[in-house]
Amino acid sequence: MTDLLELEGLRVSAGSREIVHGVDLSIPAGQTIAIVGESGSGKSLSMLAVMGLLSPPLRVTGGTVRLAGRELTGLPERGMRAIRGSEVAMVYQDPMTSLNPLMRVGDQVVEAMTAHGVAKAEATRRMLELLARVGIPDPKRTARAYPHEFSGGMRQRVMIACALAMRPRLLIADEPTTALDVTIQQQILALVNELRRELGMTTIWVTHDLGVVARLVDRVAVMYAGHVVEDAPVRQVFAAPQHPYTARLLAALPDPTDDTRPPLAQIPGRPPAPGEIAGCPFRPRCAQAEPRTVSGADTASRVACWVPPAEWRS
C-alpha cells in the first residue's frame, strides 16, 4: 500500500514559538486513523498545516507534507486552492462558523463544486443527490434554507455534503461531533463512516476523546505537547498502550462496566508551555520518568518513550 499522506518532521510555529515539534506520520491510502490529543497538543494545527490553512502568526517552519507523493508545503495559495476540496477536504467542529450565514445551504454545496470547474446545472443536480445522501429531508425545499434555520446536526450534514462534493481522496474530520448531542453524534459518526466506505476515502479523525474513535479507526496516533508520542493499531493502543501518557489518558475515562465507580485516574500537573521542557515533554508528569529522558525523546521509534512498557505496567 502506498502512503496517501506523509508528514515528515512537520514543524508549526506561532511567531518565534514552535508549537508542533517535528511530526512524522504516514497514512496509507484507504486507511482510517485517529489523531488523539488534548487542547494544545498540536493535533488541529498539524491538520490545518496539511490543508494550507494556517493563518499568521502561525506558519509551517519545517518539514514536509506530501499528498499522493506531491509536495504541498511551499505550494502557492492558488495551487493549494485547487487541491483543497477536490483532493483533501475537512469537516470542522462548529459548522455555524464554517458555513456562510448569508448563503442558502444548497448554494454552498453547489459552490463547493463550481469552484472546481463543475458546470452549474450539473453541480445543482449533484447537490440535491448529496443532500439526500447525507440525510437531509426534502432536499429541493431545504436547499433554499439558510444555515441558522438548521439544527446543529443538520448543519453538520450540510458541511459533510460540501466536503464530499468533489469526492476527495482524503477527509479530515476535526472533532465533527463535539458540539452535538450523543444521539446526533452517533448519527453523524455512522454517516461519515458509511460514506468513507462507499467512496473508499482515506480518513483522519481528530479528537480529544479516545472513546469516540475506538470502533471507527484502524490506527491511533496520540499527540502530546506538539509531539506524536505513540502511533499504533487501535486494538494495541487500547489493550496495551506503549506510552505512559496514552495509558493515563485511557484510565481517565470512566469504565462503563464498572459498578464500583472508583475515582478516575488523574494525570498530575499540566502540559508544558511550548519550549518549556527539553527532552521528553511528558517527563514532569510521568511516574516512570528516568534521568535519561532529559536528553531528548526518541523520535525514530513509533513510541516516544525511553522506558519499556513492561517496566511501568502493573
Return the number of the residue (238 or 312) whose C-beta is nearest other proteins. 238
Query: Is position 123 an interface residue for other proteins (rule: CB under 8 A)?
Result: no
Question: Nearest to residue 195, comparing CAs of 174, 173, 180?
Answer: 173
Q: Which stretch binds other proteins (CB under 8 A): 61-69, 87-95, 206-214, 302-310?
A: 206-214
For residue 298, how many C-alpha atoms fall within 13 Å in the half-sphere facing its CB? 12
Q: Which stretch binds other proteins (CB under 8 A): 100-108, 210-218, 274-282, 303-311?
A: 210-218
Query: Is position 154 an interface residue for other proteins (rule: CB under 8 A)?
Result: yes
Return the number of the residue (98 or 207) whose C-beta is nearest other proteins. 207
Give how many residues touch other proteins by CB under 8 A.
Answer: 43
Return the number of the residue (8 or 218) whose C-beta is nearest other proteins. 218
Return the number of the residue (2 or 257) whose C-beta is nearest other proteins. 257
| Residue reference for cell 460540501 | 162
Question: Nearest to residue 84, comparing CAs of 108, 116, 122?
Answer: 116
Query: Is position 249 an interface residue for other proteins (rule: CB under 8 A)?
Result: yes
Question: Nearest to residue 92, comparing CAs of 192, 234, 215, 8?
Answer: 192
What's the 3-state SS for the chain? CCEEEEEEEEEEEECCEEEEEEEEEEEECCCEEEEECCCCCCHHHHHHHHHCCCCCCEEEEEEEEEECCEECCCCCHHHHHHHECCCEEEECCCHHHHCCCCCCHHHHHHHHHHCCCCCHHHHHHHHHHHHHHCCCCCHHHHCCCCHHHCCHHHHHHHHHHHHHCCCCCEEEEECCCCCCCHHHHHHHHHHHHHHHHHHCCEEEEEECCHHHHCCCCCEEEEEECCEEEEEEEHHHHHHCCCCHHHHHHHHCCCCCCCCCCCCCCCCCCCCCCCCCCCCCCCHHHCCCCCHHHHHCCCCCCCECCCCCHHHHCC
The C-alpha atoms of residue 36 and residue 25 are separated, in whole angstroms, by 13
Per-residue contact string for residues 70-109; x = within reach of other proteins by CB under 8 A: ----------------------------------------
Per-residue contact string for residues 227-246; x = within reach of other proteins by CB under 8 A: -------xx--x--------
Residues 253-282 that bind other proteins (CB under 8 A): 253-254, 256, 259, 261, 263-267, 270
Query: Is position 133 an interface residue for other proteins (rule: CB under 8 A)?
Result: no
Query: Is position 19 an interface residue for other proteins (rule: CB under 8 A)?
Result: no
Query: Is position 211 an interface residue for other proteins (rule: CB under 8 A)?
Result: yes
Return the number of the residue (182 or 310) whose C-beta is nearest other proteins. 182
- Minimum CB distance to other proteins, residue 261 (Å): 6
Nine-digit cell at 242?
506503549
- Minimum CB distance to other proteins, residue 265 (Å): 6
Return the number of the residue (13 or 246) whose C-beta is nearest other proteins. 246
Residues 173-192 that bind other proteins (CB under 8 A): 181-187, 189-191
Which of 75, 214, 277, 302 is the binder for other proteins (CB under 8 A)? 214
- Minimum CB distance to other proteins, residue 239 (Å): 8
Which residues lie near other proteins (CB under 8 A)?
Answer: 38-39, 151-154, 181-187, 189-191, 193, 208-212, 214-216, 234-235, 238, 248-250, 252-254, 256, 259, 261, 263-267, 270
